[in-house]
C-alpha cells in the first residue's frame, strides 16, 4: 500500500516536471525567436538564420510531445477530474503560442521579406514586446499551478505589453502605408506585422482564460 | 438465533439499511460525484470502518438511549425500530431533513408512553441539546478547518497536482474516520432497542472477546454495509450535491468536520478523559450525520458571504427537531396498540 502511494506521488512529480518543461519551452522559444529576428534583419535568409529557424522547429516539436504526454497522463492517472478540462485547455493554448512563434519564423524563412532599415528599430521594439508578453504568459501560467496570487501580477504585465505591441504595430503600419514602397511590398510587411502581433494576442487570450480558472479554483 | 428473533430484528436491520443508503452518501457523495474516488473504493472503506466503529465504539451512545427508555420486550423493540424506519423513509420521500437519531428517540418515548414508563427528562434534554449543538459545532469546526487549510495551502505553494493527490488521500482517510464515527455514534439508533433482548453468547476470537451487544452491533453494521452497497450509489447520484455544489477541498472539510463532531459525541474514552480533567464533556448521544453535514456547509457558506445558501434548509433542520420525533412517537404509539390488541403480542414487560 505504502509502495503504491509512493509510486503514485512519483508519477505526479513526473507530470509536474513536464508541465514545468512546457513553460520553459515558451521562454526558450521566445528568446530564440528574438535572436533569430535580429539575425534576419542583419543577414536575411542566411545559414545562421536557417539554424535558428530549425532550433525553433525543434522546440515546437518538443512542446507538442510534452503537451500530448501531459494530456494523456492527466487522464491515465485520473488527476484533477474537477478541472481537468480547464488545464487541458490551458495546455492547448500555451501550445498555440509556441506554434505561432514557429509559424512566423518559418514564414520569414520562406518569404524572405525585404524590411527597409528605417523600420528596423520599431520592428525590434515590437518583437521585444511580443516576446516579453509571451514570457510573462509562461510565468503567469506556471504560477497558476503553484501560487494563485502571482497569476494576477504577471497577467497585468501581459495585458500591458499586448497593448504596447498593438500601438507599435499600428504606428509601423501607418508608417509603411505612408511610404513610397510598392503596394504588394506594403501588404507583405503588413501581414508579417500582424502575424508577429498575433503572438501577443494569443498570449492575452490565454491570460484571460487563466484568470477565469483562478476565480473558479479559488477554494 | 431463532427465526422469530430474526423477524423482530428485521425492522432494526431495515433501519440500518436505510442509514447505510442515506448517511454514507453524505460522507462519500462529493468525493465519488467529483470522481476523486471510485464508488467501490468508497463502499469498501465505508463498510469496513462502519463495522469497526459499531462493534468497538458503539456502547456509549447505546447506554444513553437505554437510559431514555429500556425497551424490554422484543415485539416492542421491533415496533420502535419500525416506526423510526418508516418515519425516516417517508420524511426523506417528502424531502424533509430527518435523522434516524431523532426518529428513534421519538419511538422510545412513544413506547414509554404506551408502556406507562416514565421518560427520563434529564437524558432527553441531554439528547436534544446534542441535536442543536451538533450542526452548530460542525459549522464552527468547518470554518476553523477552512481557515487553517487554506492558509496552509496558500503559504506552502503546493503544486495543483500534488494538492489533488493529497486531497484524494485526505478524502479517503477522513471518510474512513467519518464512517468509523458514524458506526460508533449511530449504531445505537439501529440496534440500541434490541440490546436488552439479544439472545447471543459471548464469543472469543483470538485476541478479541465479543459481547452479545457487540455481536448485535455487528449484525446492524452489516445491514448498514448492505445499504451502502445496494442503494447509496443511487442516493449519491440523486442528492449528492443538492445542498451546495462542493469542490473536493470543501468536501474534505465537510467530511472531516462531520467526523470530528460524530466522534466527539460518541467517544467514551474522550468523554472520560475530559471529565477526569474537570472539563465539560460532550454528551454521548446519537446525533444526525446529515445535520452535521448541513452545519458544516452552512458554516463555510456563511464564511464566503452567505451567497447561495438555501435558508429553507435551515428551517427544515429546525422543523426536523420537532416533526421527526413527534411523528415517530405517534406511529409507534398507535402501532404498539395494534400489535398488542390485534396480534396479541407482548410489547412491554411490566
Query: Of B61, B27, B77, which is closest to residue B336 (Cα–Cα)?
Result: B77
Give residue B154's pLDDT.
83
Compare all CA atoms of chain B with the CA of A2 and give the residue at the minimum distance.
B169
End-to-end CA distance of chain B: 25
Judged by a CB distance cut-off of 8 A, whether residue A78 touches chain B is yes
Assigned domain for B133 exists: yes
Q: Do B160 and A80 touch (CB under 8 A)?
A: yes
Which residue's entry shows cell 456509549? B60
Q: What angle do CA B151, B156, B158 make, to 5 degrees?
A: 115
Task: Check: CB of residue B321 under 8 Å from CB of residue B290.
Answer: no
Q: What percent of chain A has pLDDT over 70?
A: 96
d(CA B140, CA B146): 10
3-state helix, strand, coil in chain B (%, to 5): 75, 0, 20
Compute the nearest-CA separation of B34 from chain A (Å).
6
The yes-or-no verdict on residue A32 having pLDDT over 60 is yes
The yes-or-no verdict on residue A1 having pLDDT over 50 is no
Give residue A7's pLDDT.
60
Of A116-130, A176-190, B147-161, the one with minimum mean pLDDT is B147-161
List all residues 6 or more positions away from B191 whose beta carbon is below 8 Å from its beta carbon: B12, B16, B54, B58, B62, B216, B217, B219, B220
Which residue's entry shows cell 430474526? B6
- Tell me the residue range of the domain where B77 lies: 3-341
d(CA A74, CA B292): 34
Query: Of B240, B229, B223, B221, which is closest to residue B179 (Cα–Cα)?
Result: B221
Q: Do B248 and A82 touch (CB under 8 A)?
A: yes
SS3 of residue B209 by DSSP? strand
Cα B250 to the chain's mean position, in Å? 21
Give residue A2's pLDDT.
45
Compute the nearest-CA separation of A113 from chain B (Å).
45
d(CA B148, CA B24): 26
The yes-or-no verdict on residue A19 having pLDDT over 90 is yes
Compare all CA atoms of chain A with the CA of B160 and give the residue at the minimum distance.
A145
Q: Which three cell numbers stand for residue A85?
A: 478540462
Identify from B150, B165, B304, B307 which residue to disrupt to test chain A contact, counting A C-beta atoms within 10 A and taking the largest count: B165
Query: Of A20, A18, A19, A29, which is closest to residue A135 (Cα–Cα)?
Result: A29
Assigned domain for B45 exists: yes
Q: Do B34 and A81 touch (CB under 8 A)?
A: yes
Over residues A14-21, the mean pLDDT reads 94
Comparing CB atoms, the residue among B35, B165, B249 nearest residue A9 is: B165
Architecture of domain A2-217: Up-down Bundle (1.20)
Backbone CA torsion sign across B77, B79, B80, B82:
positive
Partners of B205 in beta bridges? B208
Contacts of A19 in chain B (CB under 8 A): 161
Q: How many folded domains does chain B comprise?
A: 1
Mean pLDDT computed over every residue of chain B: 87
Comparing CB atoms, the residue among A16, A81, A87 nearest residue B162 is: A16
Q: Do B161 and A79 touch (CB under 8 A)?
A: yes
Give residue A219's pLDDT.
59
Contacts of B249 in chain A (CB under 8 A): 219
Assigned domain for B175 exists: yes
pLDDT digits (tens, 9 = 90+) for A70-118: 999 998 888 888 788 999 999 999 999 999 999 999 999 999 999 999 9
pLDDT digits (tens, 9 = 90+) for B72-122: 888 999 999 999 999 988 877 776 667 888 899 999 999 999 999 999 999
Task: Check: CB of residue B216 under 8 Å from CB of residue B195.
Answer: yes
Q: How confident is the model at residue B234 (pLDDT cuts 50, 70, 90)?
A: confident
Contacts of A12 in chain B (CB under 8 A): 161-162, 164-165
Compute the nearest-CA separation of B159 from chain A (Å).
5
Give residue B298's pLDDT.
87
Q: Do A79 and B164 touch (CB under 8 A)?
A: yes
The yes-or-no verdict on residue A24 having pLDDT over 50 is yes
Comparing CB atoms, the residue among B154, B161, B247 nearest residue A12 is: B161
Contacts of B159 in chain A (CB under 8 A): 16, 145-146
Q: How confident is the model at residue B27 (pLDDT cuts 50, 70, 90)?
A: confident
Q: Which residues of A132-155 are buried (b: 16+ CB within 10 A; e: fewer)?
A: bbbbbbbbbbbbbbbbbeebeebb
Assigned domain for B347 exists: no
Q: What is the CA radius of gyration of chain B?
A: 20
Task: Check: CB of residue A141 under 8 Å from CB of residue A90.
Answer: yes
Contacts of B162 in chain A (CB under 8 A): 9, 12-13, 16
Q: Do A219 and B34 touch (CB under 8 A)?
A: no
Q: Do A146 and B154 touch (CB under 8 A)?
A: no
Task: Check: CB of residue B130 under 8 Å from CB of residue B287.
Answer: yes
Query: Of B168, B161, B155, B169, which is closest to residue A20 (Cα–Cα)?
Result: B161
Over residues B156-175, the mean pLDDT reads 90
SS3 of residue A82 by DSSP? coil
Identify from B31, B33, B152, B159 which residue to disrupt to test chain A contact, counting A C-beta atoms within 10 A and taking the largest count: B159
Q: What percent of chain B has pLDDT over 90?
A: 40
Compare all CA atoms of chain A with the CA of B250 and give the residue at the minimum distance.
A219
Q: Which three cell numbers stand for residue A164?
A: 504596447
Give residue B198's pLDDT.
76
Give residue A109's pLDDT.
95
The DSSP letter of residue B343 is S
Q: Do B159 and A145 touch (CB under 8 A)?
A: yes
Compare all CA atoms of chain B with the CA of A15 and give the residue at the minimum distance.
B161
Over residues A159-170, the mean pLDDT reads 97
Q: Which three cell numbers stand for residue B10?
A: 428485521
Partners of B208 in beta bridges? B205
The yes-or-no verdict on residue B149 having pLDDT over 70 is yes
Over residues B139-154, the mean pLDDT reads 92
Identify from A82, A142, A215 which residue to disrupt to test chain B contact, counting B C-beta atoms within 10 A and taking the largest count: A82
pLDDT digits (tens, 9 = 90+) for B129-140: 988 899 999 999
Compute the nearest-CA separation of B83 from chain A (Å).
41
Query: Of B303, B30, B26, which is closest to residue B146 (Cα–Cα)?
Result: B303
Over residues A32-50, the mean pLDDT reads 95
Judged by a CB distance cut-off of 8 A, whether residue A9 touches chain B is yes
Give residue A8's pLDDT.
61
Q: Do B247 and A219 touch (CB under 8 A)?
A: yes
Domain boundaries, chain A: 2-217
Give residue A123's pLDDT.
96
SS3 of residue B203 by DSSP? strand
Comparing CB atoms, the residue among A9, A19, A82 nearest residue B247 is: A82
Answer left, alpha or beta for residue A3, where phi above 0 means left and psi between -120 and 50 means alpha.
alpha
The A residues from 152 to 211 touching B (CB cutoff 8 Å) are: none
Judged by a CB distance cut-off of 8 A, whether residue A12 touches chain B is yes
Q: How confident is the model at residue B245 (pLDDT cuts 50, 70, 90)?
A: low
Q: Do B161 and A81 touch (CB under 8 A)?
A: no
d(CA B267, CA B272): 9
d(CA A72, CA B313): 42
Judged by a CB distance cut-off of 8 A, whether residue A75 touches chain B is no
pLDDT digits (tens, 9 = 90+) for B171-216: 999 999 999 999 999 999 899 889 887 778 888 877 888 888 999 9
Of A110-119, A166-175, B279-288, the one with minimum mean pLDDT is B279-288
Listed in sequence order, the DSSP H helices in B157-306 are: 160-191, 212-227, 233-239, 248-264, 268-276, 289-303
Give residue B26's pLDDT.
81
Over residues B299-327, the mean pLDDT reads 79
Of A164-173, B49-58, B155-164, the one with minimum mean pLDDT is B155-164
For residues B24 and A63, the model is more confident at A63
Compute the nearest-CA separation of A36 from chain B (Å).
34
Amino acid at each position: 500500500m505504502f509502495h503504491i502511494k509512493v509510486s503514485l506521488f512519483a508519477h505526479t512529480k513526473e507530470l509536474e516536471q513536464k508541465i514545468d518543461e512546457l513553460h520553459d519551452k515558451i521562454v526558450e522559444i521566445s528568446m530564440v525567436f528574438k535572436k533569430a529576428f535580429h539575425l534576419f534583419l542583419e543577414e536575411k535568409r542566411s545559414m545562421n538564420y536557417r539554424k535558428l529557424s530549425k532550433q525553433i522547429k525543434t522546440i515546437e516539436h518538443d512542446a507538442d510531445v510534452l503537451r500530448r504526454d501531459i494530456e494523456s497522463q492527466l487522464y491515465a492517472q485520473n488527476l484533477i477530474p474537477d478541472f481537468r478540462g480547464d488545464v487541458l485547455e490551458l495546455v492547448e493554448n500555451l501550445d498555440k503560442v509556441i506554434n505561432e512563434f514557429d509559424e512566423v519564423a518559418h514564414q520569414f524563412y520562406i518569404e524572405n521579406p525585404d524590411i527597409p532599415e528605417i523600420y528596423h528599430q520599431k520592428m525590434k521594439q515590437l518583437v521585444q514586446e511580443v516576446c516579453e508578453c509571451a514570457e510573462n504568459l509562461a510565468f503567469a501560467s506556471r504560477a497558476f499551478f503553484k501560487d494563485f496570487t502571482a497569476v494576477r501580477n504577471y497577467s497585468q504585465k501581459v495585458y500591458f505589453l499586448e497593448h504596447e505591441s498593438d500601438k507599435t504595430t499600428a504606428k509601423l503600419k501607418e508608417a509603411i502605408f505612408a511610404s513610397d514602397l510598392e503596394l504588394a511590398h506594403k501588404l507583405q510587411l503588413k501581414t508579417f506585422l500582424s502575424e508577429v502581433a498575433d503572438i501577443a494576442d494569443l498570449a492575452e487570450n490565454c491570460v484571460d482564460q487563466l484568470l477565469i480558472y483562478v476565480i473558479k479554483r479559488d477554494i | 438465533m431463532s427465526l422469530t428473533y430474526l423477524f423482530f430484528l428485521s425492522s432494526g436491520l431495515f433501519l440500518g439499511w436505510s442509514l447505510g443508503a442515506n448517511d454514507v452518501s453524505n460522507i462519500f457523495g462529493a468525493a465519488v460525484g467529483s470522481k476523486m474516488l471510485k464508488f467501490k473504493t468508497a463502499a469498501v472503506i465505508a463498510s469496513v470502518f462502519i463495522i469497526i466503529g459499531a462493534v468497538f465504539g458503539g456502547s456509549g451512545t447505546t447506554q444513553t438511549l437505554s437510559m431514555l427508555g429500556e425497551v424490554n420486550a422484543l415485539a416492542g423493540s421491533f415496533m420502535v425500530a419500525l416506526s423510526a424506519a418508516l418515519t425516516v423513509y417517508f420524511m426523506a420521500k417528502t424531502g424533509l431533513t430527518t435523522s434516524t437519531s431523532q426518529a428513534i428517540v421519538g419511538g422510545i418515548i412513544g413506547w414509554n408512553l404506551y408502556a406507562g414508563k416514565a421518560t427520563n427528562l434529564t437524558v432527553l434534554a441531554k439528547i436534544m441539546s446534542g441535536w442543536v449543538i451538533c450542526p452548530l459545532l460542525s459549522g464552527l469546526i468547518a470554518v476553523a478547518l477552512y481557515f487553517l487549510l487554506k492558509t496552509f495551502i496558500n503559504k506552502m505553494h503546493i503544486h495543483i497536482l500534488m494538492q489533488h493527490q493529497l486531497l484524494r488521500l485526505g478524502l479517503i482517510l477522513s471518510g474512513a474516520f467519518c464512517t468509523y464515527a458514524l458506526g460508533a455514534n449511530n449504531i445505537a439508533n439501529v440496534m440500541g432497542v434490541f440490546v436488552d433482548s439479544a439472545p447471543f453468547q459471548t464469543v472469543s476470537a483470538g485476541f478479541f472477546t465479543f459481547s452479545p451487544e457487540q455481536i448485535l452491533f455487528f449484525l446492524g453494521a452489516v445491514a448498514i454495509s448492505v445499504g451502502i452497497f445496494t442503494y447509496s450509489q443511487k442516493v449519491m447520484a440523486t442528492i449528492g450535491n443538492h445542498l451546495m455544489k462542493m469542490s473536493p477541498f470543501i468536501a474534505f472539510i465537510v467530511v472531516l468536520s462531520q467526523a470530528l463532531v460524530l466522534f466527539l459525541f460518541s467517544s467514551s474514552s474522550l468523554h472520560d478523559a475530559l471529565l477526569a480533567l474537570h472539563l465539560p464533556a460532550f454528551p454521548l448521544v446519537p446525533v444526525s450525520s446529515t445535520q452535521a453535514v448541513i452545519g458544516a456547509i452552512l458554516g463555510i457558506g456563511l464564511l464566503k458571504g452567505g451567497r447561495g445558501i438555501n435558508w429553507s434548509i435551515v428551517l427544515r433542520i429546525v422543523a426536523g427537531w420537532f416533526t421527526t420525533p413527534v411523528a415517530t412517537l405517534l406511529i409507534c404509539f398507535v402501532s404498539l396498540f395494534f400489535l398488542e390488541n390485534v396480534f396479541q403480542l407482548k410489547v412491554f414487560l411490566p
